[in-house]
Structure 1
Amino acid sequence: MKELKLICALIVTTLVFLSCEKDSKTDEGAAYFGGEVVNPKNNFVILSKSENVLDTIRLDENNRFLYKVDHVEKGLYTFRLWASEGLEYQMVLLEPNDSLLFRLNTLEFDESLVYTGNGAKKNNYLIDLFLDGEAEDKTILGFSQLPPVEFERLLDSIRNHKLMRLKQFNSKNPSSDTFNNLVKGNINYDYYLSKEVYPFVNYGNTERANFNDLPDDFYDYRKDIDYNYCELMDYFPYYSFLKHHFENLALSEHFKKSDDSVFDLKSLNYNLIKLNLIDSLMVNDSIKNSLLVQTAVEFISNSKNTDDYDLVLQSYTAKNTNKKNHQYVTNMVNSLKGLKAGQRLPEITVLNYNNNELSLNKIINKPTVVYFWSSAYRSHNDSHRKATELKIKYPEVDFIAINANAKNVTNWKKQLSQFNYSKHDEFMFKEPEIAKHKLAISPINKVMIIDQDGKIVNAHTNMFSIMFEEELLGLLNK
């Protein structure tokens, strides 16, 4: 669940914000939102509603804050703050006359989050629903290895239990339609999501065989899908469902037109079908654009066939209405075309721990793995741990880490000390935005393999791929 939450957060907050046109932009009444942050990593909290950052609110000397939202628009808001593993965020439901306070410890962000005050019960309910979902994910993954009829029976029992629990909650705490629609939407779209991913996570057969084994009514709920669910537009379970829903639909259509039997994320035909389906079914332009850009970026990031990039870009461009996203994807395609195997890296200047400016090309003088990170994304700890393991197994290979988002040398050095990272093989870009564009750094945890002559072997790989060590062995055996 946290991984899905992170994925959605990166897509939604980095590339495009979701929003829904409404007849009334505000509701009568104000709401108060505040809290106390234990072990703060910075002295501010960012509060947003859809695409609008309402304010950056500073903590006082007791690490507390209180903020008034005038003429509050009922619905989900987002608050962000720096925690132990980077920038964290969580959703909060605010309605007129709420006076809501939270307390959290940045060392255990979601698990420590507790609300008090008017509006607390509904938000504590939402947090419990989120935390229960993390354990539930593992249970459902186990269920997913069962035959479809048995899987469906157990999944139905989980949804019915949740709906009964909501009914019991409302009998003691009568709640608004906004809250009930939000919770029911969460329950239903989590249920739908589990059924959408079933053919992909059942290990008994290939995806094609799994599709063929499904009962005829397995996806009957699709007639109830709302592709313009305004109250859930900013809620990551809904976006997560849509992402996997379109993967499922596209793969089903792809199998009808090909002899493939397994899911291939790098298939051109599959990705073109997926773009067409998103365009034909999604109603809201903002979330449509977000799904379109994610599909295009995932394909371009995973495929090594640069000849296919233009076909995906052409299809994407015809459907997308977000100019910023279009420029992003276009720049990514152009950059990756310049990072073909056998070419040298473009000229990039990096800074080392001693503040010396160095050419990235000149610090590479043996087989090298270059990996990127940012403290804003918790995956940086996993990347460094993996690199440490690989250094021991492959001492002939250099491992260079570059903080792709760092703009302040002092803060970067503090982060190295905070996470206990080596000072000798860590660097930051002198000009981060230019460097990220030239090296097509998306996603942030991308990895590059460079040979001893400074030529690119693979400009877009992944240290966690089962094929990564084979790539290293191939490099060393050249």
Structure 2
Amino acid sequence: MKFYFSYLVILIAFLGCKDDKHKTIIDYAYIGGEIINPSANYVVLSKEEKVIDTIKLDGRNRFLHKVKHLKEGIYTFKHGVEYQMILLEPRDSVLFRLNTLDFDESLVFSGRGDKKNNYLINEFLENEREEKYVIKLCQLNPNAYQTHIDSLKDRKVKLYERFIDKHEPSELFKKIAQANIDYSHYSNKEVYPFIHYGRDKASILKSLPDDFYDYRKHINYNDEFLSSYHNYNTFLRHSLSNLSLKVHDAHNTGKPFNRNSLCYNLDKLKLVDSLVTNTAIKDDLLYHFTMNYLSRSKNEKNNNIILKSYLSKTNSTKGKEKMTGYTYAINSLKEGSEIPDIELIDLNNEVVKLSSLTPSTTVVTFWSNVYYKHFKESHFKLKKLRLKYPEVTFISINIDGLGVNKSKKILEKYNFESSNAYLFKNPKEATDVLAVYPLTKTIILDKNNKIENCHTNIFSVYFEKQLLGLLNK
């Protein structure tokens, strides 16, 4: 492996030097690498949501590709449904090696352009770890909380400055890295009222220091340059949710705040429509907030109201089509209705109907080989639940269309239950009909094959209470 990567680096350097003699303008970069445990035989390279190239893996799951007419900036490489960002500038020759079973954590860059990309991926992983820590900090009073998150930012700034001094990267890198630090910090401030344990969110907002949100004066909610950046988009979602609190409180006086209420979510859509003018950013936010509401709602009338609001504001034809279909599916899965007759394949390669698998109270969960962390955690959880509730049938369904043999090998590797493991015969149709979003979605069925709850989650603190309520009926 080391020899292969060294050979690639030398080869790319040679090709780069050769081209330099004939060109005064360098407008290309190389990208290559190896995918361990691939879930497809290709990698898709995109920029600003437009596919640049689909690159096939060779017989050893490796590839090398020259990006011609390079437009410097952040590119997305996607494998299966997992994706990650890479910064490409002229003359770069970036190689990476990753394992799909641990996608982000396994990703390592080498070659020319590796240092800036390793910096960015390490920062991404650090932000993921920081999110859990910030949840705990949010229980502090506002002044103590601000002191702690300011220190988190100061640490990042020092690491950034050391990197700049040592490697002297481009202005483009500095702009991106600084924006990541800033917007991560701003997000930490925006989430505070929501995660703080107090139920009166309006009072929490009023208790904040006067300068707590001063940075908002300088925020561009329509920044096209940052529109494909994770930290910026996360900030926008948190900030608009927070700004909607004040709007909502103005006509919700005296009532306890409910983030899942129709009124509050309609306020969010209205605020996005009025504050965001960039079409791509607006459509993304409208889609996110609407889908987030629908995935938790059991009220058909309210679902149709929020869908109507979404359709009147978005410009995305694809989004309209998806959201309309999702709303129809959600409304069809209401409590007391029968589960659709979806066809499954068991690990003996036999076709069975989902409705035939419910002789007792049944819990239906879903998993994907691509989201490996969720796969492992959900199956470990199911293992415990099966021991605790032997009278309940726990079913796990793979949504990928992996095939029986691969699914069987994955389950056997961790000694997970296979007798109640299935695959969708037609994954696309089945995930649409059962509205499988998010992947943590769990459906509880009673012994008569009727839906008891199609919006639960085995990781929820309320899940076992819901299950016991049905068993004790």
Q: TM-score, normalised by structure 2?
A: 0.87
Structure 2, unaligned stretches of length 5 or more? 1-24
CA distance in 2, matches of 1:168, 1:42: 39
1:380 and 2:375 matched: yes
Relative to structure 1, is the Cα distance of residues 106 and 312 closer, same or farther in structure 2, using a 3 angstrom cutoff? Answer: closer
Q: Distance in 2 between matches of 1:238 and 1:249?
A: 16
Q: Which residue of 1 aligns with 2:445?
A: 450
1:302–1:460: 8 Å Cα contact kept in structure 2? Answer: yes
For 1:242-274, what per-residue CA distance to the aligned partner results, in whole angstroms no more than 9, with x for missing partners? 111111111222222214665423201000000
Aligned position for 1:23: none
2:249 paired residue number: 255
Residues 151/75 of structure 1: CA separation in 2 closer, same or farther (3 Å cut)? same
RMSD (Å) for aligned C-alpha atoms: 2.4
Which structure's relative contact order is higher, taking Cα pairs within 8 Å and 6+ residues apart? 1
**Are 1:50 and 2:48 an aligned pair?**
yes
Is 1:404 equivalent to 2:399 in the alignment? yes
Structure 2 counterpart of 1:32: 30
C-alpha deviation, 1:219, in angstroms: 0.7
Distance 1:132 1:424 in 2: 39
For residues 400-439 of structure 1, what are the structure 2 equivalents within 5 Å? 400-406=395-401, 408-439=403-434
Q: How big is the shift at 1:361?
A: 1.2
SS at match of 2:357: coil
Report if the CA contact (8 A) 2:395-2:421 is conserved: yes
Amino acid at match of 1:78: T
Matches within 5 A, 1:53-452: 53-60=51-58, 63-81=61-79, 88-106=82-100, 108-203=102-197, 206-259=200-253, 263-378=257-372, 379-406=374-401, 408-452=403-447
Task: Give the AA of the match of 2:368.
Answer: S
Per-residue CA distance 1:31-87 (angstroms, 9 max, x = gap)? 0111244565665433222322333334445553221000111111122346xxxx5
Cα distance in 2 for partners of 1:292, 1:405 equals: 27
Distance 1:157 1:271, change over 3 A: same
With over 3 angstroms needed to count, the CA separation of the structure-2 counterparts of 1:38 and 1:380, relative to structure 1, is: closer
Query: Do the aligned partners of 1:186 and 1:237 also contact (CA within 8 Å) in 2?
Result: yes
Which has the larger displacement, 196-205 or 458-467? 196-205
Give SS of 1:302's match.
coil
> Which residue type is aligned with residue 54 of structure 2?
T
Whether contact under 8 Å (2:401, 2:425) holds in the other structure is: no
Deviation at 1:196, TM superposition (A): 0.2
1:112: how far off?
A: 4.2
The 1-side partners of 2:337 and 2:440 are apart by 22
1:160 Cα deviation from its structure 2 partner: 3.4
Q: Contact (CA 8 Å) 1:206, 1:261: kept in 2 or not?
A: no
TM (norm. structure 1) is 0.87
SS of 2:385's equivalent in the other structure is helix
Alpha carbons 1:250, 1:274 under 8 Å: kept: yes
SS in structure 2 of the partner of residue 231 of structure 1: coil
CA distance in 1, matches of 2:181, 2:371: 27
The 8 Å contact of residues 406 and 432 in structure 1, kept in 2 or not, is answered as yes
Distance 1:36 1:335 in 2: 39
Q: Number of paired residues?
A: 448
List per-residue Cα deviations over 1:422-456 (Å, max 9, x = no partner). 22101122222222222222222211111111111
Q: Equivalent residue of 2:356, what SS?
A: coil
Deviations 1:294-316 (A, max 9, x none): 21111111111211111101110
State the distance in 2 between where 1:344 and 1:214 align: 49
Q: Distance in 1 between matches of 2:396 and 2:102?
A: 27
| Segment of structure 1 superposing worse, 407-416 or 224-233 | 407-416
Distance 1:133 1:313 in 2: 33
Work out whether residues 208 and 262 of structure 1, in 8 Å CA contact, stay in contact via their aligned partners in 2.
no
Percent identical pairs in the alignment equals: 44
**Match for 2:458: what amino acid?**
M
* Mean Cα deviation higher: 124-133 or 189-198: 124-133
Offset from partner CA, 1:63-119 (integer Å, 9 cap, x none): 53221000111111122346xxxx543211001111222344555544443333322
How big is the shift at 1:199? 1.4
SS at match of 1:71: coil
